[in-house]
Amino acid sequence: MTLNIYLDHNATTPLHPQVAEKMHQCLQGAAPANPSSLHRHGRDARKILDDARDQLSSLLAVESSELHFTSGGTESNNLAIQGLAPIDAPLFVGATEHPSVLEPARQQWQQGRPGGVLEVDSSGKIGDFEVVNGALYSIQWINNETGISQEISKLAGQIHDGGGRLHIDGAQGFFRIPMTIPELSVDAATITAHKSFGPVGAGALWVRKGLLIDPLLRGGPQEKKIRPGTENLLSITGLGELARVARSTPLWDLVALRLAREALLLPLQEIPDCKIIPQQEDDWPGCVHVSFRGIHAETLLVRLDMEGISASSGSACSSGAREPSHVLEAMGVDLDWIRGSIRLSLGPVERTPQNSVALLSRVGARIAAIVNQLRTRDFETPPGE
């Protein structure tokens, strides 16, 4: 019997029922108005926008005026990289960052901006570095490929002591880990909705009051000219509702998630020539990154899909590129292991029956059987090669 198991929650998640209902109400009840219009219908739309901003600011314990709505993590990261420090100020980013941080950073370095990459150790944590006064640092809170979490408050203290500013990519952290922005002590933060049961196309960049921002786009007065253009009212409504729900009820049960992860890992650990990226206590427990020597990830993913198991080979933004994972390379993983690496990212057990302990144990056993079949039948060459 074919399974129907979705293990790609780090890429995107299904809508929370209450979020879906709120968005449906917005579609059914709100006039098709622009929040910038001065008439009654425009004012009604503006109230929906302001309410969503207030819900998000309450969850994060910041002032609503410091939040700027965007289309999601990529836009927020690009906006932070470009606008949070003068162009001649050094820019440093982590070696395992998401491409939406690495690519704009590389572009600026190529244009002559000073700075560089902060290396990580074999556990994926950023090592020792000397802070440059006046520099901007952009660091991912929780890695999308491995679930490895950086010690953000500690890094923030170090960077501030040295006269720098810290922006974090919190796409995989906010709504998952119950921490506010003041607890993280950062200067700017990227927030997105769809990694934790909100809609695709909604996110925000929080910037500490008083920090200058140079916008990516030029245009109208929306979002204090930081993000001009008519706001995506429907998706922002969903983001606001997600924040409201998260304030009253945790969206993820971390204890249950750890138990589910262990159930999935147990049969995988019995596979010969299998490497599991280790995790520490503060890492995200909903992510299993595993590598199989002698197996091509693309071949394995196709076989898993045929069995009804949806997984990925790292970041969904780059999985089609068929290039070695820069995250694993930065951690010193050999290319032989990187070729056979896949990511299994879990949903909350209490609201995702397909991620139950019993089913995940079965999934782990099925993956083990498929890997053994591929090795026995010499199916190491991926389709198209």
User: Which are the catalytic amino acids?
Assistant: 317
Q: Where are the beta strands (DSSP E) in the chain?
A: 5-6, 67-70, 91-94, 115-118, 136-140, 165-169, 188-192, 203-207, 274-276, 287-292, 309-310, 341-345
CB 345 within 8 A of CB 175: no
Strand-pairing partners, residue 289, are 343
Q: Tell me the angle at which helices 99-110 and 73-83 cross, rounded to the nearest 10 degrees.
A: 30
Closest-CA residue to 200 (of 14, 330, 334, 7)? 14
Q: What is the 3-state secondary structure (H, E, C) of 192-252?
A: ECHHHCCCCCCEEEEECCCCCCCCCCCCCCHHHHCCCCCCCHHHHHHHHHHHHHHHHCCCC
Name the DSSP class of 127.
-
Q: Where are the beta strands (DSSP E) in 52-105?
A: 67-70, 91-94
Using a 10 angstrom Cβ sphere, with 0-12 exposed, 13-18 middle and 19 or more buried, the burial of residue 215 is middle
159 vs 327: CA distance, rounded Å = 23
List C-alpha distances in Å: 116 to 92, 153, 231: 5, 21, 34
CB 170 within 8 A of CB 189: yes
Closest-CA residue to 357 (of 280, 253, 283)? 253
CB 312 within 8 A of CB 306: no
The widest CA-to-CA distance across the chain, in whole angstroms, is 70
Place of tokens 């091509």: 296
For residue 333, give the 3-state DSSP assignment.
coil
